[in-house]
Amino acid sequence: MKLKSIYYFQSTYEQGSITAAARQCFVSQPSITAAISQLEQQLNVELFIRHPGGVRPTSAADKLYPLAKEMSENKQNILNLFNDSPAPIPLRLGLMRSLGAQRMSELLTELTQRIDNIELTLVDPDEPCDARVILSQSTLSSEAFIPIWEDKYQIAIPINWPLAAKPLIEIADLDGLPFINRTPCDALDRLKQTMAIAGVRFQPRANIRTIEYTWPLVCAGIGAALLPEWQEIKHNRDLVLRPIAGEKLIKLIGLAYNTSRVSEPMMTAILSVCRGKL
């Protein structure tokens, strides 16, 4: 009698369905069916009665289930008894939209390397979390802020557009230029205000939310866009980034954390990773 077959039986009994048991055990339905059939042959009993909604345990299954559950628990107890690895350290990290995959991966890699046994859970910054990677202006009064990245925004232009040849873009150059309109983006909002004051028309060609989807549209020639100088954007051969004359559009992104937790070992380690990165 295989322990795996007992585990498959237990899951089927608890789920009331071979399909659900297969999903819980991460195996195919035929694997569950074969294991139960093998048990039925060895015990010479019928364990489940099939019906359209799943399976119904027989009296034999009711007798077997407490023993099967005990066997599964004993297996886990044995594994725990000889498992000397330390308990994982949970960290719920809130992440704002549009951070840049490359630099965010580098930060997460450094966190996992510097903090032993860390168990990362990435959530939206508005959800309960231990720390948040957000814009500086989104910091709460109960939080301290450590800057990590300074995003300088420039006009991204398809490489084959005539405007791409200009090293410096004037506000007047943007009049009626097809634009990828990204919202929310306070840097773009500030540029729109400057254009409106100068009597320059903002011409949206597409509306989108995230930076990660914006610059591929620029590469495809759909329109220009206001984008940060991320490495993956700067090194793309299908577009160019050009500064705007007289405009300094900058966003400061960093780690926000509750000041009451600053003395916690985990928080101390996180802060040591983030400090000095800017």
Same domain, 35 and 97: no
Q: Which pLDDT score is estimated for 217?
A: 92
Distance CA 119, CA 90 (A): 5
Q: How far apart are CA 77 and CA 54, in angstroms?
A: 31
> Looking at the predicted structure, is the pLDDT value of residue 147 above 80?
yes
Separation CA 211–CA 159 (nearest Å): 18
**CATH number assigned to the domain comprising residue 58:** 1.10.10.10
Task: Identify the domain containing residue 229 by its residue range.
Answer: 87-278
C-alpha torsion 186→187→192→198, nearest 10: 130
**pLDDT value at residue 84:** 62
225, 93: one domain: yes
Q: How far apart are CA 176 and CA 163, in angstroms?
A: 13
Q: Binning pLDDT at 50, 70 and 90, where does residue 278 land?
A: low
243 and 107 housed in the same domain: yes
Same domain, 48 and 180: no
Q: 78 pLDDT exceeds 80?
A: no
- pLDDT in the model for residue 86: 67
**Residue type present at position 185:** C
Q: What is the number of other CB atoms lying within 10 angstroms of the CB of residue 8?
A: 26
Rounded CA-CA distance 50/56 in Å is 6
- Mind listing the pLDDT tens digit for each residue in 197-244? 999 999 999 998 888 889 899 999 999 999 999 888 888 899 999 999
Q: What is the 3-state secondary structure (H, E, C) of 169-222?
A: ECHHHHCCCEEEEECCCHHHHHHHHHHHHCCCCCEEEEEECCHHHHHHHHHCCC
108 and 63, same structural domain?
no
Q: Which amino acid is at 209?
A: R
d(Cα 137, Cα 186) in Å, to the nearest integer? Answer: 11
Q: What are phi and psi of 132, to 5 degrees?
A: -135, 140
CA distance 245 to 252: 21
CA distance 87 to 116: 10
Structural domain total, the chain: 2
Same domain, yes or no: 155 and 203: yes
- Looking at 66, 81, 96, which one is the last position of a domain? 81
**Residue 75 pLDDT greater than 80, yes or no:** no
Both tokens of residue 259? 């000041």
Q: Which of 57, 81, 105 is the last residue of a domain?
A: 81
Distance between CA atoms of 93 and 225, rounded to whole angstroms? 29
Last residue of a domain, one of 81, 114, 137: 81
pLDDT digits (tens, 9 = 90+) for 30-60: 889 999 999 999 999 999 999 888 899 999 9
